[in-house]
Every structure is written in C-alpha cells, then in structure tokens.
A = this chain, B = another copy of it.
Amino acid sequence: MAAKQQKKNAFYAQSGGVTAVINASAAGVIETARASKDRIGRVYAGRNGIIGALTEDLIDTTKESAAAIAQLRYTPSGAFGSCRYKLKSLDANRREYERLIEVFKAHDIGYFFYNGGGDSADTCFKVSQLSESMGYPIQAIHVPKTVDNDLPITDCCPGFGSVAKYVAVSTLEASFDVRSMAKTSTKVFVIEVMGRHAGWIAAAGGLVEDHGIPVVVLFPEIEFDEKKFIARVDALVKKNGYCSVVVSEGCHYPDGRFLAEQGTKDAFGHAQLGGAAPIVADMVRRELKLKFHWAVADYLQRAARHIASKTDAKQAYELGAAAVKLALKGRNAVMPTVDRVSDAPYKYRIGVAALSEVANKEKFMPRDFITADGFGITEKCKRYLRPLIQGEDYPKYGKDGMPLYATLKNVAVEKKLPAFELK
C-alpha cells in the first residue's frame, strides 16, 4: 500500500485582468479544499496574485466564513487582488524562483493553484517545473480564466460567457434604442468591446442578428477595409433605416495598425488616447453623413456580474473545484478544461490539458465562424456561442437597490522571511 500522502497547504492566486466569475473559481478552489481537510491544510491566497507569493504577502482564507466564500460565487472582480506580472524564465530570473520556493517552504505549501489566462498559464507551467528543476515538490494546477476566450484546448474559458452575454444583451438593447430614434436622429450605433487579438467577444454582438437587428461586426481576425465597411453600413442603413456596429478593440489595418491608433493629437500636441469606437463612428459621419452614437464598454463588460451567464458562473466554479481534485489525484502541470459534448442540448464534461500545450498559445476565431464578407458570424458560430450565454444567475440585492457583493477581510498571514524586493 502507498504511504499516506502528506498534508500540505495550498496557494491560490488570481492573475491578469479579472472577470465577472473569477471569484466563482476561487470559491470552487476554497470550498473543495475545505472539504478535503485530511489532505489540504490551509488555502493561502496571494495578495495581488503572484506578487503576494514573492513578497510573502499571503492571505489566510481560513479567516473567511463559509458564507463569505459562498458569496464569492456572485461577486465580480478579484477578491484577493490580481496583478499583471509575468515570471521570466528560470535562467533569466532564478532569484524569483528561489524566493517562491523559500516562501512555499516557510508556509508548507505543496499545491499551487493559479487562476488566469495565457500569460498566467505560462507562469503556472514554470512553477510546475520546480520539482524537477529545483527539487521542491510542488503540484501546480492552472485554473483557466479569460474574457478573451483565447486559451487553447478548452472549449471556452470562464469569464467569456458572461462578457458575451453582457455584450449580446447590451447590443440588443442599444439597437432597439437606435431603431426607435432612426427616423430623425441616430442611425448608426457603435459599441467597442474587448478581446485583444481574438474576436470572440465581438462575435457575441453578432447574436443580435437573430433578433432582427442589422449589425456589422469588426473582428481582429479580419483586416479592416474602410471602403468595404462603409459600403456595408450604407447598405444596411438604406435597407433598415439604421444599423449597429460592434468593433473589437483589436481590430486593425492590414499593416497591423490598430483602428484606435490614428496619430491624433489633442490641443496641446499630446497623442490622443482614443478608442476604436469613436474612430469608427467618425468614419460613418465623414463618409455617410449619418448621425451616430458610440459606447466603449471597457471594464463594465467584464465586471458585469449583474448579468452573468449561468453557464459561465457554473463552469467557473466547477473548474476551480476540478483543479483541487486534480491536485488530490497527484497531477501537476495541468489545467482542467471544458470539453463540449453537444451544442443543443448543451452538454459538456470537465477534462484536463497539459500546461505545456496551453501556455503561450492563443486561440482565434476560426474563419468558418465568420461570414464570407467578414462582417458577421455564421450559424456554426452561433451554435457555439448560444449555450455559453444561457441562463441568468442574479446576485442578491440589498435594500438600497445595490447588489450584495463580498468584500473579504483578507487577513494577512504572519511573515516568516526577510523582505524581498521586486525588480
């Protein structure tokens, strides 16, 4: 018989841009670990992601009540703080890895759960190699998270379904508005959405077509052609009296320049920090003389827990829980995934991927998800998207009409090591 596995503490951290449901993954990790007290001691969270590990700024999650952890399922943002900080390679910054091991040793940490996107998968992969490269026994499991939906292997990423629901619902609502106003006023509405180099979020705006809305989607995957774009808007407005435009922040010209980079200067000669939406709206004004409105959803879209997708919130929790179960099975250097079984009815299984296959790879919209003209989504894409925005999962609201979101105590664990300076 195998010897009883030694009880170890766990480290959990949130990384990169936060989402409406990353805290649901945190709840999945913490609640599953709490249910496995024979194998996992305390869950320490990094205050502000991996920086918390490097600076020994650990949060003792055992100080949070079961109710507070449960409330995380309904709380957007990163409850422990996140960061944008990518570990260099072992050769380039051995000092940081040695420090991580010191901190793990000092706090008896044997499990490393890292909740993030592509860059974070890379960090998690590097940590997973510490057993081999530096002889410290650690199991590192990545919990996927990104509104951009650009991680490979997994069918979708927690965070995406909720931002997709927000964008689809908001575009539908604003399009109804424009339709009402078009006779004497606004005829074109432009909404800018996130997604970096991937058009998944913009694609969600294309779902309004099923509700009778004429819409043009501008993807990062399709090189922007102003003439074709203007012709498309012109045709839709002539036919319908109005149209909506969903533009991805990553939309760019053939030479790689983003739409937002127009070399514009303010009155003082400073570069103007634009968005893509005002640029696109101004093209419509200039070329078609049509009245327009534009919106930039920015953080509103990824923080909109009030209209989160139930599918997304559920998967975020399940993947957090699955990460702990993988650790308990002795796995290292892996990430739990969503493996789709069928579109309608929507069925999926939780699978597993090797981090070596995940790190530093981006998944873009397949060409057959985009219509031939490059301005819309195909039925195949809609079949992919629809289940991901299914279901509502409302937070509770207080008497003041505001959602009840958790703010944790975030009690610090006593430090045992000398200070460490981030470089």
Contact = CB atoms under 8 A, between A and B. Distances in A.
A177 B303 contact: yes
Contact of A402 (B207, B278, B399, B403): B207
A296 to B, nearest CB: 5
Contacts of A77: 173, 176-177, 179-180
A144 B274 CA distance: 36
Given A48-B184, A180-B77, A281-B273, A173 B298 contact: no
Q: Which of A78, A83, A299, A307 has the largest count of B CB atoms less than 10 A from its CB?
A: A299
A407 B212 contact: yes
Contacts of A274: 272, 278
Contacts of A81: 179-180, 182-183
Nearest to A404: B211
Contacts of A275: 278, 296
Nearest to A83: B184
Contacts of A173: 20, 76-77, 299-300, 303-306, 403, 405
Nearest to A181: B82
Given A183-B51, A282-B266, A307-B306, A76 B176 contact: yes
Contacts of A262: 266-267
Interface magnitude class on chain A: 35 or more
Given A51-B184, A264-B266, A265-B265, A303 B403 contact: no
A173 B307 CA distance: 11
A184 B48 CA distance: 8
A14 B394 CA distance: 31
Contacts of A278: 272-275, 278
A295 B304 CA distance: 13
Given A18-B177, A278-B275, A296-B296, A390 B386 contact: no
B299 A296 contact: no
A378 B297 CA distance: 28
Nearest to A213: B407
Contact of A172 (B273, B307, B402): B402
Nearest to A261: B267
A300 to B, nearest CB: 5
A176 B303 contact: yes
Nearest to A294: B298
List the 3 shortest-distance A-B pairs measured between CB atoms, nearest first. A77-B176, A389-B401, A78-B180
Given A270-B286, A296-B296, A390-B401, 17 more contacts: A18-B180, A51-B184, A79-B180, A84-B181, A168-B402, A169-B402, A173-B300, A207-B400, A207-B402, A210-B400, A263-B267, A277-B296, A278-B278, A295-B299, A295-B300, A389-B400, A391-B397
